[in-house]
Structure 1
Amino acid sequence: MSTLLDKRKFYIDGVWVDPAQARDLEVIDPSTEEAVAVISLGDQSDTDAAVAAAKRALPAWSRVPPAERLAHVEKILEVYKRRAKDMAWAISHEMGAPQDMSLNSQVASGSYHIQNFIDAFRDFQFIRPLGDHAPTTMVAWEPVGVVGLITPWNWPMNQVTLKVIPALLAGDTCVLKPSEIAPLSSMLFAEILDEAGLPKGVFNLVNGDGLGVGTQLSTHPDVAMISFTGSTRAGIAITKAAADSLKKVVLELGGKGANIVFADADDKAVRRGVQHCFNNTGQSCNAPTRMLVERSIYESAVETAVQVAEETRVGSAHQPGRHIGPVVSKAQWEKIQGLIQAGIDEGARLVAGGTGLPEGVNRGYFVRPTVFADVSNDMTIAQQEIFGPVLSMIPFDSEEEAIEIANDTPYGLTNYVQSSDGARRNRVARQLQSGMVEMNGESRGAGAAFGGVKMSGRAREGGIMGLEEFMDSKSISGWDRDA
């Protein structure tokens, strides 16, 4: 196809270089099922070259004064904002986020995180006293070293900025392996870092798949840390691969969030919850995909959910508007269809959507916004992460039962609570087994750490904790406070 973008090169040691060996992979536009670009999948020699460049750059970069590293990141933010429309185009075409959502949510999440890291870093103390009881004992925060960063396709810039920016600020050098399904945004991000004047070798990018470059980074003796966002299955494989070299491994994995709606919740709670579940076509690890509703308002909640599903428009990512786009790939589409069918087969009440393409659509990986009622928590659709616009609704009778159902999952990323009773909200939030709890539709504050527990991994990304993830602490006694 003559209009294919040629994106075969890798960014290594400050320049774009050809792969050691041509291994072409087409990037498919999920709205059209047609290729938009061709990349190359790296092999061991490409990974080795990128790691070697990062290792060479580490001594100098780790000694760059924090204020200078901050200035580099401020320049990155400036260039990133200028390239926002280019970035939105890339994300729409590689993973299917609709035009407006791509610019206003996908791209904006990157600038939001960069700014939050800038704000957190300004007051960051690299050497701080342990406490008043030990005035000459200090805690020093120092770079981990060369870090391997492996990111997914669902929120490309959200995940890339949550890893690359704190790594740079910490004084680490890095090798990024973005998702091979959605690599165009990360390649543009490499252009942005290049234009911002980052010293060569500090940031490197090699495309590849998990079995190839992902494994090579996870096992590489010169990589001190792996930060991975993606599936729980892949996170387990990375942990095992990294074990022999005792790397620091930080994992941000899947989720199956419960949204507990009590009878005294505000009028918009159900509508808000369904829309949140369908946002990004359901392709968010923190999506509230299980809606637990107090029985006295359950049937009216089901009616509202059906109404929202029927109002939710599905359309091409190339179009402006408030619709949802396709899911990322044919494999993802087929997986979602299989899980919707499992919900039907296991006896859940299908009240909206279902299998197959939406009406009037004959190409593209589009999924019908789907709602199941009368789901029991042991059903496949309640236990497995679907990663599509599919909501499971479950009734409950008591606060204790709601907490028990919410916690009855291998995952523990984000849970949600809707109630006008502040004491109950606080009580329930403390009993939910998750890294995050959002209540009454209020977003967590800037710099609040993103991450989970259990099979969701235990990463803490964003803000002060996200900076500390990319550093090692050192305790020092006998410090001369006057020197």
Structure 2
Amino acid sequence: MAREPEATVGGVAVDTRHWIGGERVDSAETFADVSPIDGRVLAEIARGTGTEAAAAVAAAKTAFPAWAATPPAERARLLHAIADGVEQRLEELALVETHDNGALLRSHRRGVMPRVAHNFRFFADWLLGLAHEDFETRGHRNHVSWDPAGPSVLITPWNAPLMLATWKIAPALAAGNSVVLKPAEWSPLTASLLADIAAEAGLPAGVFNVVQGYGTEIGDALTSHPDVRRISFTGSVPTAKRIAASAAANLTPLSLELGGKSPLLVFADADLDLAVQLAVEQYDNAGQVCLAGTRLLVEDSVAAEFTRRFVDKAAALKQGDPRDEATDIGPNIHARQLDKIDGFVRRALDSGARAVIGGHRQDGLYYAPTLLTDVAQDSEIVQEEVFGPVLTLQTFVTEDEAVALANDTRFGLAATLATGDPERAERVTAKLVAGTVWVNCFFVRDLKAPFGGSRQSGVGREGGTWSFDFYCDVKNTVTAPKGWLSHG
């Protein structure tokens, strides 16, 4: 008996099959997609294997030449049409994603889904202005151009599924590449809706494909495929190492964003109310944010007052159903993730850490916002990414000590700095190892800016022209001085 290919999630119909070559494609097996809100099975999702991976890459390869040859203005028009479709279905996308990954509905409505549309509009417009000024070498003209590279495999995470996927999809399509998207198995639903939106916008068949499944079953078939020209991945360091090994045989270029263990430095000259607000913001999305400043480093002379204000402000956060407009912190995404978070905290407490707030599970998949003190710099809780609502607090006396603590992990994705001294801000930011540094603010991201991590937080940069540098083969054409044809 054939299974029902659609599921209804939050009142929205979602196709649970793959999207390959402009058609819906089913698989012999499925996997359950479970809502973190209440543990309900939302849908049975087509479970792809190497067969579907090969079919998607073949479809992308077939579609690539015509898409690469499509004039930039037409590519840009289609990306704007996709953005229009996102805006028209914004409420549906917000509802489905909230049910699927447990993030706040109000955030999806007001920030996340509008940003999805903006991702397409930004790269459509950037494409039309993409240029490098010609320059001369001994009378010869140098002209830089960006040639589409080919089929691109994009593997995306579960914590902000559609926004993080479209940070990759939009520039890849704008560059003239065809795309195979593999969304995270814990949150695949809005990727399927995006396939519908792209098709309705008129994107040619095979230019955008979606294959669903477990990375262990479908990932290697995608990343090792000889016809894939670019791979972009956001996720964990161990998975990135497997992807890099898989891609090595074909020397396929990689862009890797691998999370971090970012510091938030608070100096005594900072506006403490602002510093506390920035610190409490790190609980956003139940702590499931790769950029989060989870290591609070506070100057010793203000640490007690900072902690007092932090506890008061954190106590006002409401944890509960993410569909409720009043909720500040929703559930963590999966029982395995909750076990991982709790394991980190239990081991830290057993090793002598003290929970100022939290430190325990709540009902369901909810974990109490947690702040741990009395932690050693070389401890697991300070060195490893927890990816949950868990912060640590350490103190420092000197500026040099603050910088040394901030840089003393294997990661380097981001850092946040609170200070009232512009000269100190300049000194400290120059010494921090991070792809992004925020001073007296947090999570301000302009798509014109480079984004990526240092050390084991990633490889490469995307954003603005950096995205086109990755998704294209950058070419320099050198032309001899005028009159060269006469020399035969």
TM-score range, shorter chain: over 0.9
Contact 1:106/1:156 (<8 A) preserved: no
Q: Give the percent of matched residue pairs that are identical in Structure 1 and Structure 2.
A: 37
1:418 and 2:421 equivalent?
no
Among candidates 172, 176, 194, match of residue 177 of structure 2 = 172
80-89 or 266-275, larger mean C-alpha shift: 266-275
CA distance in 2, matches of 1:170, 1:53: 18
Contact 2:318/2:326 (<8 A) preserved: no
1:10 and 2:18 equivalent?
yes
Change (3 A) 1:204 1:333: same
CA distance in 2, matches of 1:466, 1:307: 42
Change (3 A) 1:134 1:8: farther
Among candidates 240, 245, 248, match of residue 250 of structure 2 = 245
Change (3 A) 1:481 1:204: farther
Q: What amino acid maps onto 1:255 in structure 2?
A: G
- Who is 1:478 aligned against? 479
CA distance in 1, matches of 2:135, 2:212: 42
CA distance in 2, matches of 1:383, 1:294: 20
Contact 1:298/1:395 (<8 A) preserved: yes
- Who is 2:119 aligned against? 113
Q: What amino acid maps onto 1:473 in structure 2?
A: V
Q: TM-score, normalised by structure 1?
A: 0.94
- Who is 2:452 aligned against? 451
Report the CA distance between 1:309 and its aligned residue: 2.4
Contact 1:98/1:321 (<8 A) preserved: no
- Who is 1:162 aligned against? 167
Deviations 1:106-162 (A, max 9, x none): 32331232233233223112x652557665122221111111010000011221111
Contact 1:177/1:207 (<8 A) preserved: yes
Q: What amino acid maps onto 2:21 in structure 1?
A: D
CA distance in 2, matches of 1:479, 1:255: 48
Specify the SS of the correspondent of 1:51: helix
Contact 1:309/1:370 (<8 A) preserved: no
224-233 or 313-322, larger mean C-alpha shift: 313-322
Report the CA distance between 1:356 and its aligned residue: 2.0
1:293 and 2:294 equivalent?
no
CA distance in 2, matches of 1:134, 1:297: 63
CA distance in 1, matches of 2:35, 2:145: 47
CA distance in 1, matches of 2:108, 2:372: 28
- Who is 2:59 aligned against? 53
**1:47-446 correspondence to structure 2 within 5 Å:** 47-125=53-131, 128-130=133-135, 135-357=140-362, 362=363, 364-441=364-441, 443-446=444-447
Report the CA distance between 1:470 and its aligned residue: 0.8
Report the CA distance between 1:478 and its aligned residue: 1.9
CA distance in 2, matches of 1:309, 1:344: 20
Q: What amino acid maps onto 1:257 in structure 2?
A: S
Specify the SS of the correspondent of 2:134: strand
RMSD: 2.0
Deviations 1:273-315 (A, max 9, x none): 2222100110011001001001110111111222222222111
CA distance in 1, matches of 2:433, 2:333: 30
Deviations 1:385-434 (A, max 9, x none): 11111111110011101110100011100001111111110111111111
Contact 2:127/2:175 (<8 A) preserved: no
Report the number of matched residues.
Answer: 475
Specify the SS of the correspondent of 1:268: helix
Report the CA distance between 1:481 and its aligned residue: 8.2
Specify the SS of the correspondent of 1:420: coil
Deviations 1:174-216 (A, max 9, x none): 1000001100011111111111110111111110111122111
CA distance in 2, matches of 1:58, 1:250: 20
CA distance in 1, matches of 2:424, 2:137: 37
Report the CA distance between 1:272 and its aligned residue: 1.9
| Alignment gaps of 5+ in structure 2 | 9-13
CA distance in 2, matches of 1:457, 1:83: 33
Report the CA distance between 1:479 and its aligned residue: 6.0
CA distance in 2, matches of 1:87, 1:481: 56
Report the CA distance between 1:246 and its aligned residue: 0.8
Report the CA distance between 1:166 and its aligned residue: 0.5
Q: What amino acid maps onto 1:13 in structure 2?
A: G
- Who is 2:463 aligned against? 462
CA distance in 1, matches of 2:51, 2:471: 26
CA distance in 2, matches of 1:285, 1:297: 27
CA distance in 2, matches of 1:190, 1:480: 49
Report the CA distance between 1:73 and its aligned residue: 0.5
Contact 2:16/2:189 (<8 A) preserved: no
| Alignment gaps of 5+ in structure 1 | none
CA distance in 2, matches of 1:316, 1:130: 58
CA distance in 2, matches of 1:394, 1:109: 34
CA distance in 2, matches of 1:445, 1:436: 11
Q: What amino acid maps onto 2:333 in structure 1?
A: V
Report the CA distance between 1:49 and its aligned residue: 0.9
Change (3 A) 1:134 1:282: farther
Contact 1:257/1:413 (<8 A) preserved: yes
Report the CA distance between 1:38 and its aligned residue: 1.2
CA distance in 2, matches of 1:207, 1:249: 21
- Runs (4 or more) in structure 1 with deviation over 3 Å come to 1-8, 130-135, 479-483
Q: What amino acid maps onto 2:464 in structure 1?
A: G
Change (3 A) 1:441 1:374: same
